[in-house]
Structure 1
Amino acid sequence: MRLISHPVLCNYYVTYRCNARCGFCDIWERPSPYIDLPTAEKNFTDLKKLGVKVIDFTGGEPLLHREIDKLLGLAKEFGFITTLTSNCLLYPKWAERLKGKVDMLHFSLDSPVKEEHDLSRGVACYDFLVESIAKAISLGEKPDILFTVFETNVHQIEEVYNKFCKPNGLVLILNPVFKYNEVDTGEKLSNLTLQQLKRWSKKPGIYLNEAFIQLRKDGGNHISNPVCKAGSSTIVISPENELVLPCYHLGIKSLPIKDNLYHLYNSAEVQKLISLEGKYPQCEGCTINCYMQPSFAVELNKYWWKALPGTIKYNLMKGTWKQLF
């Protein structure tokens, strides 16, 4: 049963450019412009009309955008919940200008071991992460530590939790790795690893969407009965100011917005593409967290119930639950 008929999230790619070279990501390989403020403002107006609650300013590395603070501030003026994930290379430079403008600020971490984290990111990020945590805390900010879980680093959750999160009162987000396109993301997560993740999710200060675990146990999205609602729950805007459908990772169609996002989204062409969400051949077995999370929020099914406890827990920890209603 559908609970919410309008999109709830916008993944706004401010640029595809990145100053890291993560082996499990290919976004940084794409050429890219940067979005401009006047265009973003027009899109914010239409996103509001479409019912979007949350804007995730993403990339690439979003802090490469020279007006990211202004974009975030404008989004807050519109009443959106804002999220941003950074590799931390530029956060110390931006920290004071970003203060109070990001509701859900995530710092990426792949290993508590400096050499391993830097190797994973393709550049020396670790020291900047440590500096960024200290800087954020000094400003009264509470960044989350976003730990992408691979089969090879699941044993490091405890060290990350005890070293970075527990002493600083920071939320640890466990983000199970997902496969897409031809990107090498390592071994499939084993049932033992999934069980470990579920146990960790019960601890204070740790967030994991348990529906991610259930979906992997079920073999991912199935085109015969899709759980994915990427097109109808999420609006994806590219740095070229195009509406990307049905999701960024599949990218079947990109349509120029031309200052007319509201009417474009409601057009017959877009609605037809949306009606096929989760049903494309490439959608079989998909577990991409970016689109499954909002998918779980808009339709009442077993995944909605699995996601509910973690969603409530996280929004209570972050103080954003009132803004969701």
Structure 2
Amino acid sequence: MRLVHHPVLCNYYVTYRCNAKCSFCDIWEKPSPYVTLEQVEQNLRDLKKLGVSVIDFTGGEPLLHREIDKFLGLARDLGFITTLTTNGMLYPKLAERLKGKVDMLHFSLDSSEKEQHDKGRGVACFDFVMQSIEVAGSLGERPDILFTVFRENLHQLEKVYEEIILPNKLMFILNPAFAYNEVASGENLTGEELDFLSAFGKRKYVYLNEGFIQLRRDGGNHVSDPVCKAASTTLVISPENELVLPCYHLGEKKFPINNNLAALYNSEEVKQQIALEGRLPQCEGCTINCYMQPSFAVEVNKYFWKALPSTLKYNYYKGTWKRMLAN
């Protein structure tokens, strides 16, 4: 049973440029422009018309954009829930400008050990994450730690939890790694490792979408009966001001927005692409978290019930439910 029949999330790529070179991502290899303030303002108004409630300003590294604080301010003024993930390298310099504008601020951290974290990110950024946590706390901000889980860093969860999460009372978001296109994420977690991750996710201050675990146990999305609702739940806007379908990672079709996102999204050509969500050959076995999370939220099935407790837990701890109700 479908609960929501309109998109709920926008993944807004303000640039593909990045100051890191993560081993599990290829976005930093792409040439990219920066979106303009005029484009963002027009698109946000159209996103509001379409029923979107959450804007994820992403990249690349979104803090590379000099007007990112203005984008966040516009989105907040229009009533959107805002989210942003950063490697932390630029956050200490920009923290004052960002204060109060990000509802869900995530700092990426994949190990308690500086050498291991920096190796995976391809740049020395561990110390910047530690500094960012301190700076955010001094400003009264409540950031989260986003931990991308691989087999080789699974053992690091306990130390990060004890040494960083609990002392700072941060939310610990566990993000199981996923492969896409030519980008590999190492060996899949075993059933025993998924059990460990699931148990860890039940701790205080820890967020783990149990739908992600179930999907991996089931072998990912299946084109014969797709759980993925990427294109109907999530709008992807590129730095070139294009609507990308069905998702960023596949990017099968790109439509110039031309100052009329709402009309474009409701066009027959786009509707035809939306109808293919989860059914393309490349969609078989997919476990891409950033599209599965909204997919689990709009249709009542076993993934909906698996995801619901963690979603309620996160929103309770963060207090974002108050903003959602206000909208």
TM over 0.5: yes
Are 2:116 and 1:120 equivalent residues in the alignment?
Answer: no
Aligned match of 1:235? 235
Shift in Å at residue 321 of structure 1?
A: 1.1
Are 2:49 and 1:49 equivalent residues in the alignment?
Answer: yes
Aligned match of 1:193? 193
Are 2:278 and 1:272 equivalent residues in the alignment?
Answer: no
Q: Which amino acid is the alignment partner of residue 315 of structure 1?
A: N
Q: Which amino acid is the alignment partner of residue 207 of structure 1?
A: Y
Counterpart-to-counterpart distance in 2, 1:146 and 1:180:
19
Aligned match of 2:167? 167
Over aligned residue pairs, what C-alpha RMSD do you find?
Answer: 0.6
Query: Paired residues, what number?
Result: 325
Counterpart-to-counterpart distance in 1, 2:184 and 2:305:
31
Deviations 1:207-243 (A, max 9, x none): 0000000000000000000000000000000000000
Aligned match of 1:300? 300
Aligned match of 2:217? 217
Are 2:261 and 1:261 equivalent residues in the alignment?
Answer: yes
Counterpart-to-counterpart distance in 1, 2:251 and 2:214:
26
Q: Alignment partner of 1:145: what SS? A: strand
Counterpart-to-counterpart distance in 2, 1:99 and 1:324:
19
Q: How does 1:1-325 map to 2 (within 5 A)?
A: 1-325=1-325
Q: Which amino acid is the alignment partner of residue 13 of structure 2?
A: Y
Counterpart-to-counterpart distance in 1, 2:220 and 2:205:
27
Shift in Å at residue 193 of structure 1?
A: 1.2
The sequence identity of aligned pairs, in percent, is: 70
Counterpart-to-counterpart distance in 2, 1:317 and 1:136:
17
Counterpart-to-counterpart distance in 2, 1:32 and 1:75:
23
Counterpart-to-counterpart distance in 2, 1:287 and 1:150:
14
Counterpart-to-counterpart distance in 2, 1:94 and 1:164:
22
Shift in Å at residue 184 of structure 1?
A: 2.2
Q: Alignment partner of 2:168: what SS? A: coil
Counterpart-to-counterpart distance in 2, 1:322 and 1:142:
15
Give ranges in structure 2 of 5+ residues lacking alignment: none
Q: Alignment partner of 1:243: what SS? A: strand
Counterpart-to-counterpart distance in 1, 2:306 and 2:250:
26
Shift in Å at residue 195 of structure 1?
A: 0.5
Q: Alignment partner of 2:147: what SS? A: strand
Counterpart-to-counterpart distance in 2, 1:129 and 1:108:
8
Q: Which amino acid is the alignment partner of residue 128 of structure 2?
A: F
Deviations 1:246-273 (A, max 9, x none): 0000000000000000000000000000
Give ranges in structure 1 of 5+ residues lacking alignment: none
Give the structure-2-normalised TM-score.
0.99
Q: Which amino acid is the alignment partner of residue 290 of structure 2?
A: C
Shift in Å at residue 174 of structure 1?
A: 0.4
Counterpart-to-counterpart distance in 2, 1:166 and 1:77:
33
Q: Alignment partner of 1:167: what SS? A: helix
Counterpart-to-counterpart distance in 2, 1:192 and 1:173:
20
Shift in Å at residue 185 of structure 1?
A: 1.0
Q: Which amino acid is the alignment partner of residue 154 of structure 2?
A: V
